Structure formats: C-alpha cells, structure tokens
Structure 1
Amino acid sequence: MSQSAPPPQPPQSGPADGNPYAGQAPAAAPYPPQTGAHPAQPGAFGPPAPPAPGRNNVVLGVVAAVVAAVAAAALYGVVIGATKHEIGYAAVGVGFVVGLAAGKAGGRNPALPVVSAILALGSVYVGQLVGEAMIGADQLHVSFGELFFQHIDVVQKVWKEDADPLTFLFFAIAAFAAFSGAKKAAA
C-alpha cells in the first residue's frame, strides 16, 4: 500500500499574520435605514446642488454703491487733508470700492456699472473738496464744518484753481475702476 500525500492547502491568514479580521464576512448595518432617507449610491454624494439664484436687485446695488461712495469720499478727503496732497491712486481705490459694493449687492444688472461709474466720479470730487476744505481750514484757522458747509463756493473755487490734467485723468480712471469693479463683482 502506498500512501499519497495530502493535496497542498492555500495559506490561511489569521492573528499570526497581523490581520485578525481576515476571512470574516462584513457586518450588516447596526441600524435600519431611516424612513425617507435615500440610499447612498456608490461614488456619489447625493444630488447636485441647484445653481445659486441670479441676483438682480438694482435698488440694493445702488444703495450699497451710495453708502460706499459716501464712506470712500470721506476717507479720501481725510487722506488728502492729512497729507496735503492729492493722491490719484487713492481715487482708483475709491472707484473700485464703489463698483465692488454695487456688483456684490446688486448682481448682474447692466445699469449698475454705469451707476457705479457716476457715483465714483461724484465720490472722488467730494473727497477732493473735503481735502481742500481740511487744508484751507487749517491754514485759515477756522473749523472744517464752517468752511465746508458755509463757504463751499470758496472751496470749489480753490479746487478749480488746483485742478490739473492729471486730476481729470484720475477721475476717468476711477470711473473705469468702478465700472469694471461692478462687472467683476457680479460675476
């Protein structure tokens, strides 16, 4: 009688191989699914989110632009009054802030970039008047409020005398910055 050798067995993994859970079936979910819950699909996180609604609120955009224009004019005027120089690059910032506020608040309405440009021009002008009034009040030893509110005609006359072609160039650049800022912010 001859004895045959047993057939070769595949290697078994166990705790000695470092994986104590090898060969076990995966456990079922410990809780039943909730009513109304959607079963998870492999590789999906759920339905795609709906697109954000388009903003097109002209009134909100104009109000935001006016508030930004008033604040930027005051700040620009204080900078001019403190430095006693017209800083043209700050006028570009004024324009961009006005356009940004209009575009963010009002959305893609085509009127907002135009309104922003007009408000930026007014904001830069008022800011320059505030700066001239601050400088003049310091030189004349009167209060800013008295000079700006009671003698605005004198402030405007001094502004006209001080204005040069570079002043108007920065007006144009500020208007362009407001127009493009409103378009970019709405995108």
Structure 2
Amino acid sequence: MSNNAPGPWGPPPSQPGPGQWGQQQPGPPGPFGSGPFGGPPPQPPRRVGNPGLAVAAGVVAMLVGGGVYGVIVKALDTQSTYFGLGIAALIAFAMGKIGGANPALPVIAVPLALLGVLLGQLTAIVLFNADASGLSAMDLVTDYTSEIWDTWKDNVGFFDTLVFVFAGVAAFGITKSVGEK
C-alpha cells in the first residue's frame, strides 16, 4: 500500500502536497529579506561622524603639523614634498576618522592643509632667523612679522608651489577615502 493512494490517509489526487510544486507556503523571512529569491542583501550601517569635531581636530592637526614641519625643515636644512604630504595626511586622517562621510570635510581639509604648509614654512624661517640673529623666536614673531612674511614671499618658488599643490590634493583625497570607510 502506498501513501499516495487516494483515500482518507493521503492527499486528494487533484491537489499537490504543501511545499511541493504547488503554492509556496509562507514562512519566516530568509537571511536576506522576504522578497522574491530572498530580497536584496542588507546594507551595512552608514558611518555617521561629527563634522564640527572633525574640523576642530583638523585645525589642531594643522597647528601641530605646521610646527613639526618647521622644526624638521630647520633640523634637516632641507625641504621635501613629503613634509607637505605628511601635514595633509595628518589633517585628513583626523578629519576623515572623526567626521565620517560628510561631503564638506574634504573641501575644508584643503585650505587647512595649505595653511599647515604655510605655517610650517614660516616656522622654519623664524627658526633659521632666530639662530642667525640671536633673538628668540617669540621676539621675531612679535616684532618682525612683516619681515618674516617678506622673506617668505621673496623665497617662495616653483618647488614650494608643488608642495602646496600636492598637499591640497592629498588632503582632499585622503579625507574623502578615510571618511567613506
């Protein structure tokens, strides 16, 4: 005797059994949703950051990076594009990690990186002139600000322009990529 035989102990011959080739039985949603074929996979939660705190961290990174840039240039008596890229990366990592994927942060990181490089170059000029003149760096900054600025303007050249361009591009790109991760 077979279970598929008509009668009270088997399914009627005109209807297929549940879950077979007939209608699909409703059940709990699958691991990817309840749409046809399981639906789309779940999206990871979007990382939300704090843009105000990110800008503040970028300003602090700019000040610290600019100071370190000037000390390194003075100590090594040379300037390198890598120093400008280092400032840009420092600012960009701080802003991207704290601020998340805010679209304004890469744009704000560019002028911060440019100001950081400028601050570093001015710091190096102050340190060089402090050694040469015997004055303290603070006296030079407070009493001879226009002369320091004129020295920077007279000595800025093509290489310095490249440092600024690379720092700006790196700040934008790094902030954008770190913020999206």
Normalised to the residue count of structure 1, the TM-score between the two structures is 0.70
Q: CA deviation at 1:169?
A: 1.1
Q: Note if 1:70 corresponds to 2:40.
A: no
Q: Find the counterpart in structure 2 of residue 179 from structure 1.
A: 172
Taking the aligned partners of 1:62 and 1:146, their CA distance within structure 2 comes to 31
Q: Note if 1:152 corresponds to 2:153.
A: no
Q: Which runs of 5+ in 1 are unaligned?
A: 1-48
Alignment RMSD (CA, Å) = 1.8
More moved, 114-123 vs 156-165: 156-165
Larger Rg: 1
Q: State the secondary structure of the residue aligned to 1:86.
A: coil
Q: Find the counterpart in structure 1 of residue 51 from structure 2.
A: 58
Contact 1:99 1:182 in 2 (8 A): yes
Q: Find the counterpart in structure 1 of residue 135 from structure 2.
A: 142
Taking the aligned partners of 1:71 and 1:149, their CA distance within structure 2 comes to 20
Q: Find the counterpart in structure 1 of residue 79 from structure 2.
A: 86
Normalised to the residue count of structure 2, the TM-score between the two structures is 0.72
Q: CA deviation at 1:160?
A: 1.2
Q: Which runs of 5+ in 2 are unaligned?
A: 1-41
Taking the aligned partners of 2:74 and 2:137, their CA distance within structure 1 comes to 10
- For 1:102, which of 78, 83, 95 is the aligned residue? 95
Taking the aligned partners of 1:147 and 1:132, their CA distance within structure 2 comes to 10
Contact 2:106 2:171 in 1 (8 A): yes
Contact 1:97 1:181 in 2 (8 A): no
Report how many aligned residue pairs link the two structures: 140
Contact 1:114 1:179 in 2 (8 A): yes
Q: Structure 1 stretches (4+) deviating beyond 6 angstroms?
A: none
